[in-house]
Structure 1
Amino acid sequence: MVSALIERELADTLPIRNGVFVAVVGPSGAGKDTVIGFAKARFAGETRLEFVRRVITRPSDSASEDHDTLADAAFAEAEADGAFAICWDAHGLRYGLPADVDWAVANGHVAVANVSRAIIPALRERYANLAVVEITATPEILAERLAARGRESRGEVLARLARSTSVTLSGPDVTSIDNSGAREIAGERFAEVLRKAMAFSDLSDQI
């Protein structure tokens, strides 16, 4: 990971330019990881794309996304050392994106990450070129997918569904993709967003 000293130097040049940060957001059960996984396979070998691996204070298992795990104390220490570009708390866990993502964007790459809707304002301040992709699904589909995961009680599932309607996003940088149906449909729409982001990044490199 990038050292704290280098991270502080880069932070002095905010907002970070040249590349594009693609923030994938949406309620639990919408299928964000599924859509990202589709794009990752579609663009295998594409060096301009960086699919960011999150750091979470939760053990990794086959039922959840592939991520790096840190205990709470280790996460706090890493954060203090400048190991993360940005961090947030959600559902009793801590999440962080490695500081390397800043270097990827600064060097003209397109960084793609699954993030919380709550940090979109902070991302808009940090990255000059931000594309927000909101993955959605019908309430019935969300409830079905959350129940199938088996991680939470019925009450916790209902609470998640209630939260999913409490946050709204708007702005010219927001694209909404319905993932209620076949993943290929949403996946292709997301792939088109990434193609446009790469084209924009290529153009920025020429300016």
Structure 2
Amino acid sequence: MNAPAPADGARLIYLMGASGSGKDTLLRLLRACLRGGEPVLVAHRYITRDSGDSEDALRLTDEEFLRRAALGCFALRWRSHGLHYGIGIEIDAWLSRGAAVIVNGSRAHLEQAHARYPALTAVEVAVDPAVLARRLAGRGRESAEQIAQRLSRATQAFPVPPGCRPLRIDNDGAPETAAAALLDIARAKLRPVVAWREQA
């Protein structure tokens, strides 16, 4: 089911990328660059694990997550690596007020997200596999076997629905460069910069 129609100028930016690609870092840097009163909002995620200090997320137990899902409290939700992830329906209120809303989504869930928000702007954060391996190992969250599984998934193609042309942000270098490109996309000022390009 589609979400309520957003106000003029409102945009949903659906950010995706492999675990360890740096999405949370980019979102943190983007927030620090926002000007006062600028209508760009980053939605937090609800996750059934401890998110720590590295990401903007709220932890829920499995029971609480499913209770909220049954009540229709999530605009988007998915399951990955044995965990539940959700984006709250508050984003519909933000869009109705003309905000540009950025959500930290899942590549595997893009089709469902596009079905609910057909006008969304999909943005993939891409990282070289060697860089991704170092980042995953450095955060100490997964075992070697889990890291290998995530690296394997990172190189797999994901379904892109008709009418959706994802943009791509390369995040191999300074994260400030990639964050600035993401902010340009959120502001809909897509000036030519080398950090992002439209997917072929």
Q: Is this a same-fold pair by TM over 0.5?
A: yes
The letter of the residue matching 1:88 is W
> Residue 80 and residue 44 in structure 1: after superposition, are their counterparts in 2 closer, same or farther (change >3 A)?
farther
Tell me by how many angstroms 1:67 deviates: 1.3
Instruction: Check whether the contact 2:4–2:92 (CA below 8 A) recurs between aligned residues.
Output: no
- Aligned mates of 2:84, 2:55 — CA distance in 1: 15
By how many angstroms is 1:121 displaced?
1.1
Determine which structure has the larger helix proportion and give its number. Answer: 1
Question: Considering only aligned residues, what root-mean-square deviation do their CA atoms show, in Å?
Answer: 2.0
**Equivalent residue, structure 2, for 1:79:** 69
Aligned-partner SS, 2:111: helix
The CA deviation at 1:47 is 4.2
Q: Classify 1:82/1:172 alpha carbon distance in 2 versus 1 (closer, same or farther; 3 Å).
A: closer
CA distance in 2, matches of 1:83, 1:172: 26
Report the equivalent of 1:16: 5
TM-score w.r.t. structure 1 length?
A: 0.83
Separation (CA, whole Å) in 1 of partners of 2:138 and 2:39: 35
**Could you tell me how far apart the structure 2 residues matched to 1:197 and 1:108 are?**
16
Question: Relative contact order, CA 8 A, sep 6+: which one is greater?
Answer: 1
The answer to whether the 8 Å contact 1:17/1:129 transfers is: no
Pick aligned residue for 1:104 from 83, 90, 94:
94
Compute the displacement of 1:73 (Å): 0.6
For 2:168 and 2:19, the matched residues in 1 are separated by 15
1:184 maps to 2:183: no
Correspondence for 2:198: none
Does the C-alpha gap of structure 1 residues 77 and 184 become closer, same or farther in structure 2, counting only changes over 3 Å?
Answer: same
- Unpaired stretches in structure 1, ≥5 consecutive residues: 1-10, 199-207
TM-score, normalised with respect to structure 2: 0.85
Per the TM alignment, residue 29 of structure 1 is displaced from its structure 2 partner at its CA by: 1.3
Q: How does 1:38-187 map to 2 (within 5 A)?
A: 38-62=29-53, 64-168=54-158, 173-187=165-179
Unaligned runs of at least 5 residues, structure 2: 191-200
CA contact (8 A) 1:27 1:164 kept: yes
Instruction: Output the CA distance in 1 between the equivalents of 2:189 and 2:87.
Output: 20
The percentage of aligned residue pairs carrying the same residue is: 35
The alignment covers a number of residue pairs equal to 186
Q: Which residue of 2 aligns with 1:33?
A: 24
CA contact (8 A) 1:21 1:111 kept: yes
8 Å CA contact retained: 1:15, 1:125: no
